[in-house]
Amino acid sequence: MNLIIGCLVCGIGGMTMPLAVVSFNLRYGTALDGENAWPKRRELMVETIRKMNPDVMGTQECLEFQAQYLAEAMPEYAWIGVGREKDGQGEMSALFYRKDALRAEESGHFWLSETPEIHGSRSWNTSCTRMVTWARFRHNTTGAVFHVFNTHFDHRSEEARVQSARLIVQRLRALPAEMPVVLTGDFNACAETSDAWKILVEGGFQDACLLAGERLGPDVTFGGFKAPPDVKQQRIDWILVRNAGAVQRYETVTFNKDGRYPSDHYPVSAALLIPGMP
């Protein structure tokens, strides 16, 4: 367990708690990926997640049967999610969290559209229905509270990515100013250079990768089930934070077995120190 009493740190502003966060695009379990199809990589995915040992993990391209498999294979985790389509089916932006460390006090979903409360709604020339799943967590030992938002931005429409970022900033500003917030996702846009990233950062988030005291792994986060290519500034999977306290470590995780990877994306992980907020 990452969050334990012995790991609490006394900082200038009071107690802080370590929080291990992961963002992981799982790749659709129904994709016709041959040797990389879900049944042939799901055990490797469980091994990868266990090695990262997150307290909370935002997933993308997660279908219900994938979430159920992961929960059965890792009973220490619970999950929150709903299919993004009008009938409740389709991709989820599911959140997984350790039951021994955290409890979800409140959770919900909204859609990245002009009518965010309408299930399955779409706007801004998006190619797919897009959504956010969020939760307010309380640390079981300290009682500290924080929010997590998880999403998957559109891969084609720049307008949709920009407007989605603006909507998330609106939701962020509705929370208490001192509330720690984590945003995980596959944003289908490059960190540091894209308009979506700039809107989120100007709106109050910070990029955990840029804050990290230690940074490991490649810049690229999409590998297509292969080893990382030698390219720069292609981080499309991000962990953003507000009031995170400190980011001790950030990693693009390229764990594999004999050249076999758990997904076509590399998960990203961040070791945070979250200020205690009762």
**pTM score over 0.85:** yes
**Cβ(114)–Cβ(123) below 8 Å:** yes
For the residues 76-82, what does the mean pLDDT come to? Answer: 99
For the residues 42-54, what does the mean pLDDT come to? Answer: 99
Answer whether residue 1 shows pLDDT above 60: no
The phi, psi pair for 36, rounded to 5°, reads: -105, 15
Query: Could you give all domains of the chain from N- to C-terminal order, each with its CATH number?
Result: 5-275 (3.60.10.10)
- Mean pLDDT lowest among 128-142, 156-170, 172-186, 219-233: 219-233
When pLDDT is cut at 50, 70 and 90, the band that residue 230 belongs to is confident
When pLDDT is cut at 50, 70 and 90, the band that residue 14 belongs to is low
The predicted-structure confidence for 144-193, as pLDDT tens digits, reads as follows 899 999 999 999 999 999 999 999 999 999 999 999 999 999 999 999 99
Distances (CA, A) of 11 to 18, 142, 245: 12, 15, 9
Strand arrangement, sheet containing 237-242: 102-111, 131-139, 145-152, 181-186, 237-242, 206-207
Phi-psi region of 188 (alpha: psi -120 to 50; beta: other; left: phi over 0): left
Question: What is the torsion angle, in degrees rounded to the nearest 10, for the CA atoms of residue 100, residue 95, residue 221 and residue 194?
Answer: -130
Structure tokens at 14: 């009071």
3-state helix, strand, coil in the chain (%, to 5): 20, 35, 45
The predicted-structure confidence for 18-37, as pLDDT tens digits, reads as follows 999 999 999 999 999 999 99
Terminal-to-terminal C-alpha distance of the chain: 21
- Residue 2 has a pLDDT of 44
Q: What is the mean pLDDT of the chain?
A: 94
By CB atoms closer than 10 A (0-12, 13-18, 19+), residue 103 is middle
Structure tokens at 178: 């001192």
**R_g of the chain, CA atoms, integer Å:** 17
Give the C-alpha separation, 53 to 68, whole Å. 18
Give the C-alpha separation, 260 to 271, whole Å. 26
